[in-house]
Each structure stands twice: as C-alpha cells, then as structure tokens.
Amino acid sequence: MACELRVALTELGVTFIKLGQFLSVRRDILPLELAQELSLLQDQVPSFSFEEVQTIVEKELAAPLSHIFQFFESYPMASASIGQVHRAILKNGRSVAVKVQRTNLARTVHEDLVYMRFFIGLAKVLRFKGDWQGWFALVDEFERSIFIEMDYLQEGLNADKLRQILRNFPAIIIPRVVWRYSTKRVLIEQLCEGTKIDKISSFADIDTKRLAKQMVQAYLEQIVIHGYFHADPHAGNLAVSETGQLIIYDFGMMGYITDSQREGMLRLVLSIMDNNLSRFIESFTEIGIIRPISQADRDRLEKVIEPVWTQFRRYPISDIDLSIIEKEIDLLLAHQYFRLPANLAYLIRMVVSLDAIVHALNPDFNFARVASPYFKRIIST
C-alpha cells in the first residue's frame, strides 16, 4: 500500500510530490513504513521548454535575454518539481546558473491545496475515524513551507545568511546571488560546478575522509552554534569542486532550532555523561519531544523511556551510533507521551541524510567524536 501511495502522489504532480516529501519527515503522525516509503519520493517531473523559460525570464527581468546574457544554454543542467536551472553567461562575462520557476506554479499549488482541504473537510463531515482537525493544521503548515520554498528571493537571503555563518570554513562554497537580476521566480547565482558527492569515490585524488569531517563540522557549526541550517543535504545538493571544496546548492529548505531546544540538547548530552535519568527526561521535555504530562503519568513515562536510556548508556557518548538514535526516536514516537515538533522533524531528516552521505565517504566515521568539541564549546560558555 505504501508503495502504491508513493506512485499515486508522483502521478498527481508537483504539489503532491512535495506533500509526500513533507509528510515523510513526520514520523510522529505516519506509520514508520509509510514515512520511509515517502522519503523515496523524487522530483521526477519533466523539464519544461526553453520557450517557456525565455518567456518567464524576460517577463521577470523586463528585458530580452540578449540584453542581459551573452549566452543562455537552452537545455537545463538540472530539473526539479519547482523549477529548473540553466547555464548562462552575463554580458559582463560572469558565468552563472539561472534558476527558473515553473509557469503558473503558485496557481497550481493553490488549487491543489483547495482540493486537499475539501477532502479533509468531507472526511470530517462524514465522521470517518481520524484527527481531521490535525490534518487541517498539517496542510496549513505544508502551505507555509511550500510557498517559502517557492520564493526565490527568500532562497537568496538564505544563501547569504548561510555563507555568513560558514565564513570561517574555506573548504565550503556557497554560490553568490546576483541580486540585480533575481526575482521571486528567477534566481541567478554564481556558477559553481563540481562532481556530485555520491560520484567522487571513483576519484583517487579526493581525500574523502577529510571531506567527510569538514562537511560534518560545517553542519555542526550551523546546528549547534547558530541554530540555523541547510535542511536538505542530499546527493543532488552537494558537490565537490576541482580543488576539493564542498559546494552546497539549493537553499529553499532551511531549518532552525530554538535557543531552548539547543539548551535542551546540551542538557541531554550532559545527562548521559552524568548518568542522570531524571535530567535526561527533563531535557526531552525542553526539546519539545515529550508532551505536557501529569505527575501521575511520570512513572509510566519513565518505563517507556528507560529502554532508550539504557541504549544510550551502553556505549561511551563518543561511540553512539546515529542510526540507533533514529530508531529509538521512531519507537518513542509510537507512544502517546511523545510528539515531534515540525522543526525537529527537519533536523532529524537532515542528520539522517548527512550521516548516510558521510558514511559513504568514510565508513569508519564517528559522528559523535567530531561533535564533541562543539558541545564542549557550548559547555565552556
């Protein structure tokens, strides 16, 4: 059934592909098997014609292509559900990547959202079993998410902010936005080409162990120090330059964690180090994973969380496996006492994706050992 649903969402088009991807991180509301199947959804949407591209770009920039570009490649170098990217050269000789949004995308998404709300409302009226009010709220959340991702000006601002955060990481490249020629539907960036991250193992001159460590350090800087991160580090959004630098693409999906959640994560680490179960539970509450509970439920909660606590205590914190953490969180979310805030869903998705890429580069990589200095840095402050 899960596979059939994934195929159906793909056939329904852009909005439903994005909806499936959005739901795949919400393991607190979907069965694990279904969430894993939806995580396989890809932006498998045919590219649109160069004639459409030209019409959109000329309308957005209020000028013929020939007035802005000395060259504009007709075939896209990349294509996805929201838009596609073309190589081009500006009149000043600067090589750029031009990201162009699909025609009438906003109208299509709006119409699809109306249908979603209609069927949820119908199910509620007919009294089908389910938390239909919760699904209304989820569609509202999805609407906010997809329209933020569709705003290319916001994506450009995200790129600038991330570049500032990683300014002390010379091994990381964030393409620069050409603001003069960028709008909500057309984004022009510095052309930064490289080998896709999942293809570099065949290149003998790339130090993959060093690259894995640099990548994790860059993402830890984002999460632990700044609480703002690139939320979509899959193989299509990461590449390696000829000089061995990591190139990050696509800043439409960014994540954040609040100061209180970061403090809760720090206390979580300290509770494991101090062998303090009570503080361990309190830190989960601070992070937002435990629902508000009565004192009467406290003992039952401890029994639910004790196997997770035992799993954490089996190894030194530097040897904890992220895949084990993911599995334990999935098990916790099956209980009534737990929930998964939307921003943490993106964080977990990001960490799991990053962990898979890093271990492909270096099977012996230890995430926790690299993370340790960042937590010590916070503890010292």
Distance CA 216, CA 241 (A): 17
| pLDDT tens for each residue of 5-26 | 887 888 888 888 888 888 777 7
Predicted pLDDT at 127: 63
Q: What pLDDT is recorded for position 165?
A: 97
C-alpha to C-alpha distance for 30 and 7, rounded to whole angstroms: 17
List alpha helices for the chain, DSSP H.
2-12, 14-24, 32-38, 50-61, 65-68, 105-125, 132-149, 152-165, 208-220, 259-273, 277-287, 295-313, 322-332, 342-361, 367-380
What are the residue boundaries of the structural domains of the chain, listed by start? 2-44+104-149, 196-381
Contact between 51 and 19 (Cβ < 8 Å)? no
pLDDT digits (tens, 9 = 90+) for 315-335: 666 666 666 777 777 777 777
Tens-digit pLDDT profile for residues 105-126: 999 999 999 988 888 887 776 6
Options 28, 112, 232, 355, the catalytic residue: 232
pLDDT in tens, 150-207: 999 999 999 999 999 999 999 999 999 999 999 999 999 999 999 889 887 655 578 8
232 is catalytic: yes
* pLDDT band, very low/low/confident/very high, at 42 (cuts 50, 70, 90): low
The pLDDT assigned to 351 comes to 86
In the predicted structure, residue 248 carries a pLDDT above the cut 60: yes
pLDDT at 202: 57
DSSP letter (8 states) at residue 338: B
pLDDT of 43 strictly over 80: no
- In Å, how far are 65, 70, 277, 368 from 312, measured between CA atoms? 58, 59, 11, 12
Backbone angles phi, psi at 45, to 5 degrees: -120, 135
Instruction: Pick the most confident of 217-226, 274-283, 321-330.
Output: 217-226
